[in-house]
């Protein structure tokens, strides 16, 4: 593991144990519209952010609902779950506290929405540990590109060479690598199908954060 003074964390599947929740939302959303949920749907929309995912869904499945209406449905379905149910990945809090003790700057780089993740992070006692938050809405391209990680590093006043990016999805690892970042992939069941490819391109692969302490 390289030395670093800035850690950039994805949230869903990396810090928050929330990917199963999104699977439930996808399943319920498609079932209510009598549609078959494609097996690769979650993988396709994960790097897009909410708006991009809604545009893709409306267009691909020829929904009668507008993008804004789909976003509203997703938002209402997710808020309740994130506010009350979502927990942290194993040893995430302990590792964040460990890094904070080492004076490492902690940053968030996420495709999620503040109204969802902030209550979850607050309830789990880690929101105050982060020095900055960058969301996909602040950059032009999704997580297959380095934009969000470069923005997060810039916000922290750091160069990519001084940072480590923690991600759980293949597209996130690819994007961070394109930006010149050292990458650590955190195991998540949702992305396990890409494990072989992720191991090939990531600098480090962990099952949980206890391996880094």
Query: What CATH number should be reported for the domain holding residue 154?
Result: 3.40.50.1000
Q: In what order do the strands lie in the sheet with 204-206?
A: 132-135, 105-110, 6-9, 163-167, 182-186, 204-206
Q: Same structural domain for residues 174 and 202?
A: yes
- For residue 1, being part of any structural domain is answered with no
The answer on 104 and 199 residing in a single domain is yes
Give yes or no: residues 46 and 105 share one domain. Answer: no
pTM value is 0.83
Q: How many domains does the chain have?
A: 2
DSSP symbol at 131: S
Task: Assess whether 99 and 193 both reside in one domain.
Answer: yes
108: containing domain: 6-17+87-212
Domain identity same for 129 and 159: yes
Tell me the backbone φ, ψ of residue 57, rounded to 5 degrees.
-65, -45
Contact (CB, 8 A) for 153 and 163: yes
The residue with greater pLDDT, 21 or 186, is 186
- What three-state secondary structure class fits 179? coil
Among candidate residues 134, 136, 179, the one with its CA nearest the CA of residue 160: 179
Least trusted range by pLDDT, from 39-48, 90-99, 121-130, 181-190: 39-48
Residue range 36-52, pLDDT digits in tens: 999 989 888 887 878 89
Q: Are residues 128 and 33 in the same domain?
A: no
Side-chain-side CA neighbours of residue 198 (13 Å): 24
* 14-18 mean pLDDT: 95
132-148 tens-digit pLDDT: 999 999 999 989 999 99
């Amino acid at each position: 593991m390289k030395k670093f003074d800035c850690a950039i964390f994805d949230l869903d599947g990396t810090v928050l144990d929330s990917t199963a929740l999104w699977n439930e939302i996808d399943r319920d959303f498609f079932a209510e519209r009598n549609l078959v949920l494609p097996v690769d749907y979650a993988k396709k929309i994960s790097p897009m952010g909410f708006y991009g995912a809604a545009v893709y869904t409306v267009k691909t499945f020829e929904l009668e609902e507008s993008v804004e209406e789909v976003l509203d449905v997703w938002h209402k379905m997710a808020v309740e779950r994130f506010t009350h149910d979502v927990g942290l990945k194993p040893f995430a809090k302990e590792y964040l506290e460990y890094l904070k003790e080492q004076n490492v700057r902690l940053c968030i780089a996420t495709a999620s929405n503040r109204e969802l993740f902030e209550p979850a992070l607050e309830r789990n006692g880690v929101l105050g540990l982060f020095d900055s938050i960058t969301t996909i809405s602040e950059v032009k391209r999704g997580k297959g590109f380095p934009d969000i990680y470069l923005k997060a590093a810039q916000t922290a006043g750091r160069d990519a060479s001084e940072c480590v990016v923690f991600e759980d999805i293949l597209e996130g690892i690819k994007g961070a690598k394109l930006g010149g970042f050292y990458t650590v992939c955190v195991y998540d069941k949702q992305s396990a199908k890409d494990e072989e490819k992720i191991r090939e391109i990531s600098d480090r692969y962990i099952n949980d954060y206890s391996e880094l302490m």
